[in-house]
Structures are given as structure tokens and as C-alpha cells.
Structure 1
Amino acid sequence: MARFNKMRMLPLATGIALALGSTGASALSLQQAYEAALKNDPAYQAAVQVNAAGRENRVLGKSALLPTVSGAFSANKNRTTVERLGKTEPQDYTSRSATVQLRQPLFSLEALAKYKQGVAQSEYAEAVLDSQSQEVIMRVSGAYFEVLLKQYNVALAEIERDTYLEQRNVNDFLYKKGEGTRTDMLETQSRLHAAEAQLLEAKDAQVTAEDALAGIVGGEVGQLDTLRGDFRATSSGLMSFEDWKASALAQNPDVRALEKNVEIARQEINKQRSGHLPRVDFVGTYGQTASETLSLINQDQTIRSIGVQLNVPIFNGGAVSALSRQAVANHEKAKADLQAQKDKVTTELRKNYNQLVSSVSRIEAHEKSVESAKLLITATEQSIKGGVRINLDLLNAKRQLYTAQRDLALARFGYLLANLRLKAAAGVLTAEDVRLTAAYFN
């Protein structure tokens, strides 16, 4: 056994330094990643521009209630002939006309519906932006955690490979001493090849995760902050599920957006039905004409008029009725979409609430597993010095530690994400929550 202890111990996984070690001053923090995403994430920037466009609907809707002023000018060269007493005489002249008209709606249900619809469309755009503001927090946090988790997976895959490399050395030694079999050597070699393939897959997955994060923050991510050693999870002070549900139904931006969509559809019904109703406008006109007709050659006229104009629709080929029925159907669909979204939010809220509560116990269990694995390594190292254990036993113990640390990190990331998702579902996720989450890292 002592001869085994003299065997050269293969290098341990270097990737664990990325997953468990402290980072340098140039490491990208979660807060920095979030701030970069606000500036560079194309999905969020698109939402900002959509909101900017949507805000104009308020102005557009209001314009239907405000007066419109139009102007017109015309100048025509007229070539005419006049017959007098059997003689034809040419009569050429130039006519001019300039008119300014003001029109103010006095009674128009269509204009009122357009105004209310424009307000609802503007508020819909604001709710969508609120949703995207929360979404960018979730995407950058999820991508950030995913990179860190992939680093743990790479480290675990490396120690897995190193374990089988050491196992192969032990098998070769035993075979040469006549204490091992060819079958053991082939079995270990097969597992070593599989471990090498898993290591390559783990590294590829890490690169993919880094590329996903880079696409959100708009640049190379480099090294990231890692979880603090004094990480503590707690569910104390957590509101009841019913309180979270009430907050979600009142403040969830996706629910609010669909509520505005229902209002938009309702006003569309009013707008289309107004096609059956009269419209009353106040009209004021100021105009000047010169040689307007043949009988008014060389005569200038100034016209000033104010009055009320009544427009009464009679028949439009059935279009008004068809558009009204179409609007009613769309309104019913909008209400169904709203209810479906409320059900979805409630389900997601329940899932994340339960996960947040259970994560505390799960994290505590994994922390105990990590401590036990560390004690096993210490005991194995002492056994190696005493000639009872070999380097392969130490590698197996370290593989158990890396597995426990990976599982602990997964539970902690799950806790942080569940907390963020719970607040997002309740519609209360803000940049302050990013700062609080970033405090779990160093």
C-alpha cells in the first residue's frame, strides 16, 4: 500500500478555481452586468423604443377631440369662349381662391372612443416596458448564474477525468504485479474516454453560456464574481402566499398590459358602433377669391362664416355592423387572454413561492454535505500519510466534494432565482433587488 502512496498524483482540476476561488478586481459583477444590459441588450432597447412609440397614442387619441385647421389655395388659368348675338368671343382670365377652415367636434362618440383608446394604448405600452424591465433582470441574472454553474460542471468533469486517469495508473500497477485483470483495465479505460467526452461537453456548455451572457451585456464577460462563503438563505419575514397573489393580480405588468388590452378592445367596439350615430361639428371658414367664375371676373370676394354641421350616416354597405361584431369578438378574446394570464401568474407564483421556502432546507442539507465531504478529504489525507489509503481514494473524496459544492451552488442559485421570480410575478421586482442579489457575491 505504501508503494501506491509514492505514485505521482495527477494535477487536480484547475477549473474549480473559477467556480470556487476569489476573483480579481476586473471581475464582472452582477450589478455591472445588469447596468450593461440596460444599455446594450437589444431586446430591452427594442422595448424602450416600442414604449416611446406607444406613448404617442395618448396624443393621437386626444387629437380627435381637438380642433383641426386646414388651408387650401388654388390658382387656375381659364380659357373660355362667350357667344353673344351669334358671335364667339374668347374670354381668358385667372381665378384664385384661398380658404382657411377650423373644425371642432361638438358631438362625436367616435372621437371620444379614440381618445379613451389612445390613453389605454399608451398605458399598455408602459406596462409592456415594465414587464421588459423585469424581464431583463431575470435574463441577465439567469445567464449570470448559468455561467457560474457551468464552471462548477467543468470543474467536476475535470476531477472526474482525473479520477479515472489515476484509476488507470492503479490498474496498470496491479496488472504488472499480477494482482489485476485485463478486464479492469478495459473498464477503466472506457470510463476514462466517457469522462473526457463529458469534459468537452461541459466546456462547450460553458462557452455557450458565456456567449449568451455576452449577448445580453453587449461584450465579453471575462471573469465573474462568485458566491460568498457566508451565504445565508432565509424565508423569515416572507409574506403569505395570499398577499403575494393579491400583489401579483394588482401589479404584475403582464396582467396590467392585458387589462389595458381589454379596455382597448372595448373602446374599439364603441368606435365602430359610432358609425351608426350622427356627428356634430362647429365649422368656421375664412376665404378670399379673385375672379372665381366667369361672371365674377376682376371681382375679389372675402367670405367669413361660422356654423354647425350635422353628418348623419345612413347606410355603408353593412360595414359598420360587421366591424362592430368583429370588435365584440376581439373584446371577448382579450378578456379570455387576461384570465389565462392571471391563471398563469398565479401558477408561477405558487411554484416560486414553494421553491423559495423549500430552498432554505435544501441549502442547509447541501451545506452539511459539503462539510462532510471536506472532513472526508481531511481523513483521507491522514490515511494516506499512514499508508492506509492511496491517491485514488483522495481523488474520489475530492470528486465527492466537488459534486456536493456543485449541488450546493445549484440550490443557492435556485433560491436567488426563485426570490427574483417571485417578485417579478408580484410586479415589485426593481433594480434595488439586483443590488441586493449582487451582495451575495464577491
Structure 2
Amino acid sequence: MNFSRTLFPLTMLLLSGCVVGPDYQKPDTALPAKFSESKATSSESVALNPWWESFRDKRLNGLVHQGMAENLTVQQALERITAAEANVIVAGAGALPNVGLSADGNVSGQDGNFIRRSNPTTGASHSESKSINAGLSASWLIDFFGQYRRQREAANASLDAAYDDVNVARLAYLSDLVSSYVNARYYQEALALNRKNLVSRRETLKLTNEIKEAGAASSLDVLQAEGLVNQTLANLPALETGFLQSANHIATLLGVPASTITSSMTKGSAQPMPRYATRTGVPADLIRNRPDIRAAERRLQAATAQIGVAEADLYPSIELGGSIGAARNFNTKVGNLTSWSFGPSLSLPIFNGGALKAQVKIARSDAEQQYLAWKSTVLTAVEEVENAQSALIRDYQTVAAQRKVVDTFDQTLVLARESYRGGASTILDVLDAERNVADARLALASAIRQLARDYVALNVAIGGGAEIGGATVVVSK
């Protein structure tokens, strides 16, 4: 008897420490030692790096910081943290005792007429009964196999993923906003270049008319010069539309009326051009710096914990329950009646058609899918960095070469006009030179825009600035 009294508590203690299901281990995948066009040097955390300041554009800096708190997508992601925090409380509440209180009161009565058989006199009757009942109940499901502990583990991992999702939304906002700003400034530069070309081509048209009046040019020459003027005029509306659409999108990202952004950017500014290089680090740094990779890993941990939740349903469960009840009937001489009960209840799954085992298979399959999703996210991140870095390196080369093209065609146009005035060449030589200059300048503006966009893509790909203005990440327990 003494032996059983000692063994039973020990057995209960051992069982209470048992947690079924696999323990989570961080995933691993083969990654290259370095990116193909950078040195194999690990970089520090870039999550707090304000890389957009490399453009040295105060207006852009102001828009970025304004939108950190105003972007609706980021606000939605922040709100999902609230739901995830509540889920942690729900998951932990299952392992705690459940206590409830109930009470009710009753008043019943009877009214009516009756006739006594012994005395034919009609009489009336009335009766009334009053009672109050109250009860207190408590139950506690003993977590022998760690079901609630696994649920709490899954909920905490999902909460961490919600925090990382905020940073994912913030990165998307940064990419969209800065790229839209780059586009808006490009359209303004293209408009300025086309207006400059318009002035030049009108001068050529005027010169052609003067030479025609002197008898050295034909009507065909005038029509060709006039055609280039009209062609330039036709290019302006599309560029204006491009600027307005980019400015409107910036306003949407900031959650403000479009007119407030359009009016503040109408004055124009130079095209954004990054002044600093970006250190990409090594591929392994992405696992630490990219919030989408961290979120995918947290979801894998949550899915792994759900395997333990499903496996716990295969085992018996014991619930301790008890209740205390009190009742009083005011029509009786007995004042109070109290009842109580206490005892364990055992639930043992015997036959369920294989549903519980199927739930375990589903949980394992979900975890495997989350692992594959994590691995895909890692490989995609490496690809994005490789692509952006390769493009950015060549963008610098393109811009440098295009600047030389513009200088060459500028000199060609000056010589073509002088030669035309002297009668040594035709108007076609001047028009061709003007067309080449206009195309080269627009090509340079387009190359600068592409360089800036690829600079944005590279910094976003390495997770730069994801945690600026963000909430503190909660560590799972």
C-alpha cells in the first residue's frame, strides 16, 4: 500500500513532463559561399540601414519617413500582431483550470377556482413557491502529453511570424515608394528634355524658313523640320501622364490625397542617383536579414508543433472536475441544501475510423510543405540578390557609356548646324543630329532610372531597412 502511494505520484509527475511530437530544429540548406560578383565577406545586420539616404534627396527622405506609419499595408500587418497575441493567450488558457459560476432563481404559482364535494360552495385557491439555486464548478485537463504546450509553442511561433510579416510589408512599401519616386523624377526629366528638344527643333525650323527665304532650302526641308517639332509635342502628354500616375501612387502609399503629393513634386528635381555602393555580404546573411525568410521559418516551427498537438489526441486524457451547489426553497422549513462532487474522468480513443492518425499525417504534411516553402524563399532571395547585383554593376557601365554618347552627339549637332548655315550640308544632316541628341539624352535618363531601380531592388533583396520604425520582435517561449 505504501509502495503504491509512492509510485502513483511519481508516475503522474513523469507523465506530466512527457511531450509528444518532434522537437523543432532549425532547417538548413546548401548555399554558395559567396555571391557570384562579390567578395566572400559577411556583412553586419542591414535591417536598420537607411539605404535610400544614399540618393541625397531630402524630399524622398521625408516621404519615406512619413509613410512608415501611414502605409495601410503596414498597418494591416501590425493589426495582425494583435490577433496573434490573442491566440497565444487562447493557446495557454487550455492548460489552466476552468472555473465557472452559475445561479438562477424561480418563482412559481397557481391560481384557480375549485368546488368542494362536501360543500357546494365555490372557493378560490392560490399557491406560490420561491427558490434560489447557485453552483460553482471547476475542471482541469491534465496535459500529460504536452498538447497545450505544443499549442502554445505554435502560437508563439505564429506571433513571431506576424512581427516578421510587418517587416515584409515595410520592405514592400520601401520598394514601391522609392521606385515610384524614381519613376516620377524620370518622367519629369524626360519632360524637361523633350521641352528642351522642342526649343532646339523650333530653332531649326526657324533657321530652315530663313534659308528658304534666301532661296537655299525647299518646302520639303521646312516640312521635315516642322514634322520633328510636332513629333516632340506629341510626346509630352504621355510623359505628363506618367508623372501624374507615379505621384498619385505615392499618395496612395502614404494614405493621403493625390493633390498633396502632386503639388509638392511639380517643381521638379534631379533624377535620384545613388552615391554609395551596397555591401551584399554572403548568401548565409540572408537567413538572418530577410524578414520573409524568418517568417517562413517561424511558420515551419508552428507547423512542427502542430504535429505534437495531433499526436496528443491519440493518447488518453484525464480531466479533474468538481462542483459545489447550493439551493434554498423559501416555502419549506429546510433553509439550505448543499451538494458537492469531485473526481477524475478518463477519455480514451478506441475506434475513430483512423481519423486521428490521418490528422497526424496531415500535420506532418503541412510541416513538410512549410519546410519546402522556407527553402524556396531562401533560394528565391539568393536569386534576387544575384540578379539585382549583376544588373546594378552593368547599369553603372551603361550610364557612363551613355554620357559619352550624349557628349558626342551634342558636338555633332553643333557641327551639323554650322555646316548647314555654310551650305556644306543639307537639312537632313541637322535633323538627324537633333534626333540623335534627343534619343541619347532620353536614353541616358532611362539608364539612370534603371540604375536607381536596381539599387532599390538590391537593397530590398538583402533586407535593408526592414526594421526601421518597427516593433520589437517577441522571442518564443
Which bracket does the TM-score occupy, shorter chain normalised? 0.7 to 0.9
Task: Give the secondary structure class of the aligned counterpart of 2:279.
Answer: coil
Pairing 1:274-423 to 2, within 5 Å after superposition: 274-290=312-328, 298=334, 300-303=336-339, 306-316=342-352, 319-369=355-405, 406-423=442-459
CA distance in 2, matches of 1:397, 1:226: 28
Residues 282 and 60 (structure 1), Cα distance of their counterparts in 2 relative to 1, 3 Å cut: same
| 2:135 maps to which of 78, 98, 101 | 98
Deviation at 1:211, TM superposition (A): 0.9
Which amino acid in 2 is paired with 1:310? L
User: Cα–Cα, structure 1 residues 196 and 420, in superposed 2: closer, same or farther, change >3 Å?
Assistant: closer
Q: What letter matches 1:165 in structure 2?
A: R
Shift of 1:125: 0.5
Listed one character per residue, the Cα deviations across residues 368-424 of structure 1 (whole Å, up to 9, x for unaligned) are 455656777888999999999999999987876676555445444444443443332
1:31-430 correspondence to structure 2 within 5 Å: 31-76=61-106, 94=131, 96-103=133-140, 105-217=142-254, 218-219=256-257, 220-221=260-261, 222-223=264-265, 226-227=269-270, 233=275, 235=277, 238-239=279-280, 243-290=281-328, 298=334, 300-303=336-339, 306-316=342-352, 319-369=355-405, 406-430=442-466
CA deviation after TM superposition for structure 1 residue 316, in Å: 4.4
TM-score (norm 2): 0.68
Q: Is 1:420–1:429's contact at 8 Å kept on the other side of the alignment?
A: no
After TM superposition, give the deviation of residue 274 of structure 1 in Å. Answer: 2.9
Shift of 1:115: 0.9
- For residues 174-196 of structure 1, the C-alpha deviation after alignment (integer angstroms, 9 at most, x for no partner) is 44444444444444444443332
**Whole-Å Cα distance in 2 between the matches of residues 94 and 117 of structure 1?**
48
Judging changes above 3 Å, is the alpha-carbon distance between structure 1 residues 352 and 96 closer, same or farther for their aligned structure 2 residues? same
- The more displaced of 199-208 and 103-112 is 103-112
Following superposition, the deviation at residue 148 of structure 1 comes to: 0.5
What CA distance in whole angstroms lies between the structure 1 residues aligned with 2:88 and 2:299?
14
Contact residue 101 and residue 286 of structure 1 kept, 8 A: no
Which stretch of the first structure deviates more once superposed, 207-216 or 306-315?
Answer: 306-315
2:96 alignment partner, SS class: coil
How far did 1:253 drift?
A: 1.0
Structure 1 residues 271, 104: closer, same or farther in 2, change over 3 A?
closer
Q: Does the 8 A contact of 1:67 with 1:105 survive in 2?
A: no
TM-score, structure 1 as length reference:
0.72
Structure 1: gaps (5+ residues): 1-26, 81-89, 434-442
Q: For 1:192 and 1:297, how far apart are their aligned partners in 2?
A: 112
Deviation, structure 1 residue 285: 3.6
Larger helix proportion, structure 1 or 2? 1
SS at match of 1:107: coil
Partner SS, residue 276 of structure 1:
coil
C-alpha distance in structure 1 between counterparts of 2:161 and 2:83, whole Å: 11
Are the aligned partners of 2:182 and 2:452 in contact in 1 as well (CA < 8 Å)?
no
* Unpaired stretches in structure 2, ≥5 consecutive residues: 1-56, 111-126, 470-477
Structure 1 residues 301 and 380: CA distance shift in structure 2, 3 A = farther
CA distance in 2, matches of 1:273, 1:382: 89
* CA deviation profile, 1:214-256 (whole Å, cap 9, x unmatched): 2223242213774499x67454x835xxx43111133311111
8 Å Cα contact 1:30-1:225 kept in structure 2? no
**Compared CA separation, residues 297 and 265, structure 1 to 2 (3 A):** farther
* CA distance, structure 2, for counterparts of residue 402 and residue 412 of structure 1: 16
Q: Could you say what the CA RMSD is over the residues aligned between the two structures, in angstroms?
A: 4.1
Aligned residues: 391
Distance across 1 between alignment mates of 2:423 and 2:211? 17
Q: Output the CA distance in 2 between the equivalents of 1:191 and 1:384.
A: 17
Cα gap change, 1:135 to 1:308, in 2 (>3 Å): same
The whole-number CA distance in structure 2 between the counterparts of 1:76 and 1:315 is 44
